[in-house]
Amino acid sequence: MKKKGLFKKIENSHIAFFAIAVILFWIKTYIAYQMEFKLGIDNNLQKFLLAINPISSALFFMGLALLSKKHTKKIMIAINFILSFLLYANIVYYRFFNDFITVPVIMQAKSNSGQLGDSANSLMNGLDIFYFTDTIVLIILAFTVFKKAVSKNRKSYQLVLLFAVTVFLFNLGLAEKDRPQLLSRSFDRNYLVKYLGAYNFTIFDVIQNIESSSQRAMASSSDVSTVQNYRQANYTAPNPAYFGKAKGMNVIYVSLESFQNFMINYKMPDGQEVTPFLNSLANDGETFYFDNFYHQTGQGKTSDAEFLMENSLYPLSQGAVFINKDQNTYQAAPAILGEKGYTSAVFHGNYKTFWNRNVMYRQLGYDQFFDAEYYDMSTENTKNYGMKDKPYFQESMPMLESLKQPFYTKFITLSNHFPFEMDPQDTTFPAGDFGDSVVNNYFQSAHYMDEALKQFFDSLKKDGLYDNSVIILYGDHYGLSENHNTAMAKVLGVPKITPTINASLQETPLFIHVPGVKGGVQHQFGGEVDVRPTLLHLLGIDTKDYIEFGSDLLSPQHRNWALFRNGDFVSPNVDQLSGKYYNPTTGEVVPETPAYKSISDKVQQELQMSDDVVTKDLLRFYTPTGFKPIDPNNYQYLGPKGKSQQPKVQTSGE
């Protein structure tokens, strides 16, 4: 009878239902941490924190349901589902990007919706239903065992809230002990999730975004002084041997989608070169080829690369500048060169709203934007995110020829995009055989892009543009994430992908061809932020008055290191990765030295200053000598039929 009475109390207890919900959610989240995320757990304290950090979130959020007397179970199940959906969204996102979703990323998804389907579907599988099993179990229990359970008072919520706060503060205290100034100095979301959990990170992210908005509102012209002083102290003067060697020439940028540097000179088992044309540029002695060049993108990926190359500012640590800061004042390369008589244009085989380009390009000062409206977007010409590279370059040539010279142009390729699948009729090149379909496809996709580039160069030579144009080819970001490291170890012929090898996989190629200037392989370290000052100096434009964070790659004063958006850096003698220093040759951990610490401090300082410039919109308070601020309203992109490409202004409530 006692057992029956005990069971009766349990089935009538909303607290018992709540406890089961918390425990199931806790276990599921911990399993997800272990199976889906590579968080770099280094010690027993971090293991302990990883195990307990879901508890405070589960207690706090599901405890909210205890405030309701009539609908406790329904609300708890709804909250459980929302949190489960957030966890699963992070899992799918992490499978490709090795990163976590932020509020700005959600805003990006609204802009890029409808074009992410193929990539997202390829990252899901049938076993993912596991991440919603606790929701299903709770629904079943709510209609069976706990059918009569109701919340009688709100005192239980007060106790749960107190316990949740206590657990969180305990968690935060231990985290700060292992990682001092975690919340104020961490540029890496992995740290925040590892120490505080995915759900607490989301709260932190929301607070950061609110803070960012308030920072802009409170910024003033005095905030620019510190940045100007830093800029002047770190300015790299142009190399006299190259300054002005390309003066008056056209500029042609080509963004190589998802192209990593390990592909240069790589051969398949049968001896075939994957990228024979790019290899020829790397080895012809007439083109500058930088083999220690790194992408520095964040969550904005291709759009971040564009922002880096044209502004010499770093992207945001969360979200994309193209989405979140599209109304800022910028002093970008198209606007700078516009003052020198250049016509500027972008060619992109996708629709203008993707990455919010139709709005952002106006802020950068582009004269024209040739988007998908100008191309034949038939089924045979398109894949993944837009137009295939070969028809794209072919159809772009008449539009390029129509531009008034000198021009500053950018071509954004798309074919070499995850998941890298090729239509059979587009390639005869063999796929890889490394036990990973995505990695295997990458070789075919990269080869196709290489063929398209050769076709483009041949067209430039035929039309006489090649001999009067600076051509810059750059890999925008990595294509193969850490989730493919098992296969990548086979590709590279190494036992495993170590932290230093993984850092080297962030290398993307940079080619700069200047007619009449001898090139060759360049071994200096650099990143995308360094390209703008390098180009402007080649064109004979000194950058000393501009606020930028790049360093001329051809200058004798060039700093010989490159940072990543998460605060890590690489250099010839040391790599700093996830808070540790490594010998880049041996891969072994090495002790900190004053010289290493000096670079690390400068990296943190530079990222913070760049963030201040972007988040506070500081360029609105500063105008470089000789630069005329642009009015974005003057840039009305006309479609092929003469209709404005400018987006309609949305009013409140629409």
Whole-number Å distance between alpha carbons of 443 and 440 = 6
Nearest one of 313, 236, 283 to 527, comparing CA atoms: 313
Give me the sheet containing 569-570, strands edge to edge: 562-563, 569-570, 575-577, 580-582, 589-590
Whole-number Å distance between alpha carbons of 296 and 607 = 11
Whole-number Å distance between alpha carbons of 59 and 37 = 23
> Residue 372 carries which DSSP code?
G
**Phi, then psi, of 374 in degrees rounded to 5:** -95, -5
Asked if 479 and 442 touch (Cβ cutoff 8 Å), the reply is yes
Q: Is 413 a catalytic residue?
A: no
Beta bridge mates, 562: 570
Residues in the chain: 654
Angle at 346 between CA 122 and CA 305, to 5 degrees: 55
- Could you count the other beta carbons within 10 Å of the beta carbon of residue 220? 9
Give the E-state strand segments of 510-593 in sequence order.
Answer: 510-513, 520-522, 526-527, 562-563, 569-570, 575-577, 580-582, 589-590
369 Cβ partners below 8 Å, 6+ apart?
345, 346, 348, 352, 357, 358, 361, 637, 645
> Residue 629 carries which DSSP code?
P
Q: Which of 236, 275, 297, 302 is catalytic?
A: 302
Whole-number Å distance between alpha carbons of 182 and 267 = 44
Whole-number Å distance between alpha carbons of 596 and 573 = 9
Asked if 588 and 571 touch (Cβ cutoff 8 Å), the reply is no
User: If you search the block for the tokens 């750059």, which residue do you land on?
Assistant: 474
At position 305, the amino acid (one-letter code) is A
Do strands 526-527 and 293-294 pair parallel, antiparallel, or not at all (unpaired)? parallel
**Distance between first and last Cα of the chain:** 63
Cis-peptide into 419, omega within 30 deg = yes
Q: Which helix (H) or strand (E) holds 445?
A: helix 437-462
Say whether 293 sits in a helix, a strand or coil. Answer: strand
Say whether 496 sits in a helix, a strand or coil. Answer: coil
Q: Catalytic residues, which ones?
A: 302
